[in-house]
Structure 1
Amino acid sequence: MAETVKKGSRLTGAERETLAAELSKGYAEGKSIRALAEETGRSYGFVHRILSESDVSLRSRGGATRGRARQQ
């Protein structure tokens, strides 16, 4: 992953596109939004917004659900 960007700094143009590509790749490899946010030093909301702007199909929420245990 790219070097940590100073928190709160504005990303525009080529820097934003580069970060968006790296975040998209990491997300496609199975990393969570929270893990990507921690790696880059950005917030969860920022990473979520960048992925959404990049037309990445976001995964549904994980974790245990009540119905899933009974189905198995």
Structure 2
Amino acid sequence: MDKGKRITGEAREKIAAQIKTAYENGASIRAIAQDKKRSYGFVHRILTEADVTLRGRGGATRSKPGSVTS
């Protein structure tokens, strides 16, 4: 697949199914984008079009300065 080439129709449906499967199997959006040689935005858009529930960002969360967490 050529980088930057517009994907429509059957080809878009095929890549959407591959992206959805990869994401549901635990791959990150960034990893999928790198593997498919597409942008993060493209992969994110395909997932939202496919009604996939996106995972949270994860990692450490920030608290407000001066706040105490229990």
TM-score by length of structure 2 reads 0.85
2:48 matched to which residue of 1?
Answer: 52
Q: State the Cα RMSD in Å.
A: 1.3
- Of all paired residues, the percent bearing the same amino acid is 57
Ranges in structure 2 where 5+ consecutive residues have no aligned partner:
64-68
Regions of 4+ moved over 4 Å: none
Q: Distance in 2 between matches of 1:16 and 1:38?
A: 17
Unaligned runs of 5+ in 1: none
Write the distance in 2 (CA, Å) between the matches of 1:66 and 1:11. 38
Return the match for 1:26 from 4, 22, 30.
22
| Larger Cα-atom Rg | 2
TM-score (norm 1): 0.83
